[in-house]
Amino acid sequence: GENVEQHPSTLSVQEGDSAVIKCTYSDSASNYFPWYKQELGKRPQLIIDIRSNVGEKKDQRIAVTLNKTAKHFSLHITETQPEDSAVYFCAASEGNYGQNFVFGPGTRLSVLP
Amino acid sequence: KAGVTQTPRYLIKTRGQQVTLSCSPISGHRSVSWYQQTPGQGLQFLFEYFSETQRNKGNFPGRFSGRQFSNSRSEMNVSTLELGDSALYLCASSITGGGGNSPLHFGNGTRLTVT
């Protein structure tokens, strides 16, 4: 089955700096890769996603890149702000048999003022 | 549009008991998935229901079961509770049709504590 690894497990950056979180997946059939942000005590919320027919997607300060050959995808946050502090989860899914997402273990991002 | 609603928010149960958690998806969403979240194991997939049928199942013992009703609402049941079942149980709905790969919309979860 699918296995998703995520690095780093914790990340501290200064406000205004960039943050990069990387995930690798094992199943070459996976074709959908969402990223979720979970603030303390709150629900995970989708922040950006990418499908396998696209190499990069950007939404304001957030971007995701996908390398299908190497089976990894990364989240890039630029100009970080204190409200970006949260746990970020990547996930992978092949979708042929419904909704079956495998999540990475999460990255705790701290943005220091 | 109302979000995914889970009840109750908190539950305290004793080992050996059983528990039922409820989830109401976003209106129009026919897929409901359940996840277990723990500090050590992250988000683990339990199962997915679509049109009242279990479409996918994760690697959890048979003590974990679920069902979906004709209005897409879903329930999850855990029987013979163990201490290790203490976790946040998250329900997520999505608008997916016959296939998959639609964004998950999570509820706030039910925090289950087993003593």
Min Cα separation B41/chain A (Å): 7
Q: Give me the pLDDT at residue B42, please.
A: 85
Whether the pLDDT of residue B61 is over 80: the answer is yes
Q: What are the beta bridge partners of residue A11?
A: A109
Q: Give me the pLDDT at residue B100, please.
A: 64
**B114: Cβ contacts below 8 Å, ≥ 6 apart:** B12, B13, B14, B15, B81, B82, B83, B84, B85, B86
User: Which band of pLDDT confidence, cut at 50, 70 and 90, is reported for residue B44?
Assistant: very high
Contact B107 A43 (CB under 8 A): yes
Question: What pLDDT, in 10s, does the model give residues A20-31?
Answer: 999 999 999 999
Task: Say which DSSP state A83 is in.
Answer: G
Tell me how far apart the alpha carbons of residues B21 and A41 are, in angstroms, rounded to a whole number.
19
Tell me how far apart the alpha carbons of residues B75 and A110 are, in angstroms, rounded to a whole number.
36
Contact A43 B55 (CB under 8 A): no
Q: Is the pLDDT higher at A100 or at A111?
A: A111
Question: What pLDDT, in 10s, does the model give residues A47-62?
Answer: 999 998 889 999 999 9
Contact A98 B109 (CB under 8 A): no
Nearest alpha carbon to residue B90 among B12, B30, B17, B3: B3
Contact B45 A100 (CB under 8 A): yes
Q: Which of B4, B60, B74, B101 to mutate to test the interface with A (most CBs of A within 10 A)?
A: B101
Q: How far is CA B18 from CA A16, B29, B76, B80, in A?
A: 49, 28, 11, 6
User: Which band of pLDDT confidence, cut at 50, 70 and 90, is reported for residue B41?
Assistant: confident
Query: Which whole number is the average pLDDT over B98-105?
Result: 78
Question: What pLDDT, in 10s, does the model give residues A70-110?
Answer: 999 999 999 999 999 999 999 999 877 777 899 999 999 99
Whether the pLDDT of residue B14 is over 80: the answer is yes
Query: Which whole number is the average pLDDT over B84-109?
Result: 88
Q: Is B45 on the interface with A (CB under 8 A)?
A: yes
Question: What pLDDT, in 10s, does the model give residues B74-95?
Answer: 999 999 999 999 999 999 999 8
Q: Which of A43, A59, A88 to mutate to test the interface with B (most CBs of B within 10 A)?
A: A43
Whether the pLDDT of residue B113 is over 80: the answer is yes
Tokens linked to B41? 């194991």
Q: Give me the pLDDT at residue B98, please.
A: 59
Residue A35 CB coordination number (10 Å): 23
Residue A22 CB coordination number (10 Å): 17
Q: Give me the pLDDT at residue A110, please.
A: 98
Specify the pairing of strand A107-112 against strand A10-14. Answer: parallel
